[in-house]
Amino acid sequence: MTPTIRTLHDDDLPAVLDLAVRAWAPVFASMRDVLAGSGVYEHFFPEWEPVQRRAVATGHDVAVAVDGGRVAGFVAARADEAERLGEIVMLAVDPEFQRRGIGGALTRYAADGLAARGMAVAMVETGGDVGHAPARRTYERAGFTPMPVVRFFATLPITGDS
């Protein structure tokens, strides 16, 4: 069955928040492993689930994929009219529904919505770690071109030679 993609309804929010936690558990585990021993992960995500729930609930344009009456995934986007730049801020597919093309369909839906709002370029940012590998594949399949960026983090104070 092909999912229906539509705008988020208020009564979808509990399912979306629970789905986000299930879908992103491997991502946060991967980030914890990458940042192990640095103190950075603990600084940003002492308890990642409530932080992620708050991030999902913030005001972006959100659409959901509904399959068999269940929320199977969601995408959040925002537009910068001055720059004509659209951004896919979040994408998640329930682990039970992954590998069925729902992430790609949500990505196209968000990109089409951004184009309809007059955006000339769409971007999405994701991690380079193992936990983000499925997201990277989704975005590359959708036609996004990766632009390597390296972010460095350190807890303060930093010691050592400059």
Which of 5, 3, 15, 33 lies closest to 132, judged by CA?
A: 33
| DSSP secondary structure letters along 49-98 | HHHHHHHHHSSSEEEEEEETTEEEEEEEEEEETTTTEEEEEEEEE-GGGT
Q: What is the CATH code of the structural domain delimited by 4-141?
A: 3.40.630.30
Percent residues over pLDDT 70 in the chain: 97
Cα(136)–Cα(159) distance, rounded to whole angstroms?
Answer: 34
* pTM, 2 dp: 0.85
Per-residue pLDDT of 49-90, as tens digits, reads 887 888 777 767 899 999 999 999 999 999 999 999 999 999
Per-residue pLDDT of 102-119, as tens digits, reads 999 999 999 999 999 999
Token output for 28: 């946060």
β-bridge pairing 61-67 and 70-80: antiparallel
